[in-house]
A and B are shown apart, each in its own frame.
Chain A
Amino acid sequence: MSPADREHLWASEHLDMFATGLMQDEDLNRFEQHLAACDECRGTVHALAAPEANRGMHIPDALIARWPTTRTTLRGLQRELARRHLATCEECRSILRYRGQSLELERVPGLEPSAEALAALDGLAPSLPGSLGQRTVELPRPRFNLREFLFGGAVGGLVAAAAALAIVSTLSLHPAQHPTPANPGVPALRLELGGGAAVRTLGSIEAGNLVRGGRGDTTITLAPGQSRVRIALAPEPDLAPETQVELELRDAGGALLMHTSMPYSYLIESDRGLAIASDGALPETDLTLLLTWTATTGTRHTVHYLVDLRR
Chain B
Amino acid sequence: MTPIDRPSESDNPLDHVDWKEAEAIMRRVIISKVGSRGRDDFDDLVQEAIVALMRAVSRGGVQTLEGLTVTIAQRQAYDYLRRIRRPSEPIPELPPGTEDIPAPLEDDDPTLDELEFYVRQILPALGEQCRELFELWFELRNLKLVAERLGVRHDLVRKRRERCIARAYEIFLADDGPLGEWLRERMGVAS
Q: Which A residues have a C-beta under 8 Å from some C-beta of B? A: 14-22, 24-25, 28, 32, 40, 43-45, 47-66, 75-79, 81-82, 84-85, 91, 94-95, 98-99, 113-114, 116-117, 119-123, 125, 127-128, 131-135, 147-148, 170, 172-174, 192-195, 197-198, 200-201
Contact = CB atoms under 8 A, between A and B. Distances in A.
Nearest to A122: B125
Contacts of B112: 15-16, 19-20, 48, 55
Given A15-B102, A76-B180, 16 more contacts: A16-B112, A21-B161, A48-B102, A48-B112, A56-B115, A65-B44, A85-B117, A91-B55, A98-B14, A117-B171, A120-B171, A123-B125, A133-B169, A135-B174, A172-B190, A198-B181
**Most chain-B Cβ atoms within 10 A of its Cβ — which of A43, A78, A172, A201?**
A78
Contacts of B175: 76-77, 113-114, 117, 135
A18 B141 CA distance: 8
16 contacts: A19-B141, A21-B134, A25-B158, A25-B161, A60-B117, A61-B113, A81-B118, A82-B121, A91-B58, A95-B14, A123-B125, A125-B174, A131-B173, A194-B176, A198-B178, A201-B108
B36 interface: no
A40 B175 CA distance: 34
B95 to A, nearest CB: 15
B183 to A, nearest CB: 7
A77 to B, nearest CB: 4
A77 B190 contact: no
A148 B191 contact: yes
Contact of B165 (A22, A77, A148, A195): A22
8 nearest A-B pairs in the assembled complex, by CB-CB distance: A76-B177, A56-B116, A77-B175, A65-B47, A81-B121, A120-B174, A60-B113, A133-B173
Given A22-B119, A60-B114, A63-B114, A194 B177 contact: yes
Contacts, number: 224
B163 to A, nearest CB: 11
B181 A95 contact: no
Contacts of B47: 65-66
Which bucket holds chain B's interface residue count? 35 or more
Nearest to A95: B54
A247 to B, nearest CB: 16
A201 B99 CA distance: 32
B180 A65 contact: no
A78 B116 contact: no
A78 B169 contact: no
Interface string B136-152: 01111101000000000
